Amino acid sequence: MIMKLSILVPVYNELPFIDAVIDRVRRAPPEQIHKEIIVVDDCSTDGTREYLQRLCAEPWTEDGTDLRIIFQPKNEGKGAAIKRAMQEASGDIIIIQDADLEYDPQEYPKLIDPILRGLADVVYGSRFLGGPHRVVYFWHYCGNKFLTLLSNMFTNLNLTDMETCYKVFRSEVLKSLQIKQKRFGFEPEFTARIARKGWRVYEVPIAYYGRTYAEGKKIGWKDGFKALWCIFRYNVFP
């Protein structure tokens, strides 16, 4: 059994969700594992930053969970927020958790199980392995599948969902990586680097509650082109 689980939560303009996300992560199983929640606000402009500042000023006495909130001085992107949170993480296992409720913290036991059993160093939560999911955008699905296929061709991994948020890894993996990308290029760069290191990778099916753009979804076609560049860049010229 691990001693501590670090949950990294990059946040940008998620005021309608941030309170619920922190609460769900805090209450997520397994209850017997000590959690630290590291929230990194990427210079939000919708009131999220002010909400988190007020939260910092309040005593945090909820069930012994550690909560740390970090404020980026300027907006740099999801990858930069994750990198900042990685510097603070002290857990034995680390999980990346988006702040938009598209991914369910109740799935943590499933995600960390291959690591606890000594079978994996890294676990990806796949939206395409049969778990329940909201039906939203066909072309997003096609784009994800294409990027995953291209990444697999370079890395020789047989992932089904390279772009998933739910990436879980042992702390030793974190210490072995030097991530450069500051925005959504984090996903293909991370995958390229762990493949090159030879870490053992598992996938498990997860539920997915996708949002529409009207509901706040942020990733777009420009990010897809950047992901293409990153797949080539970090596999061919690491």
* Statement: residue 231 has pLDDT above 60: yes
Angle at 34 between CA 83 and CA 66, to 5 degrees: 60
Report the candidate in 39, 43, 13 with the shortest Cα–Cα distance to residue 26. Answer: 39
In whole angstroms, give the CA distance from residue 127 to residue 210: 10
Confidence at 216, pLDDT banded by 50, 70, 90: low
Band of pLDDT at residue 63, cut at 50, 70 and 90: low
pLDDT score for 32: 79
d(CA 111, CA 5): 12
Of 57-61, 99-103, 193-197, the one with minimum mean pLDDT is: 57-61
pLDDT of 73 reads 95
Q: Between the CA of residue 7 and those of 58, 66, 95, 124, 156, what are the distances in Å?
A: 20, 10, 5, 15, 28
pTM of the shown model? 0.91
b/e burial code for range 114-140 (CB count within 10 A of at least 16 → b): bbeeeebbbbbbbbbeebebeebeeeb
User: For 54-63, 64-73, 104-113, 190-199, which range has the lowest pLDDT when averaged over its residues?
Assistant: 54-63
Cα(91)–Cα(2) distance, rounded to whole angstroms? 9
Q: What's the rounded mean pLDDT across residues 154-167? A: 96
Looking at domain 4-236, its CATH superfamily turns out to be Spore Coat Polysaccharide Biosynthesis Protein SpsA; Chain A (3.90.550.10)
Mean pLDDT over 23-47 rounds to: 92
- Model confidence at 218, pLDDT cuts 50, 70, 90, reads low
Find out whether 44 and 11 touch, Cβ atoms under 8 Å.
Answer: yes
pLDDT value at 219 more than 80: no
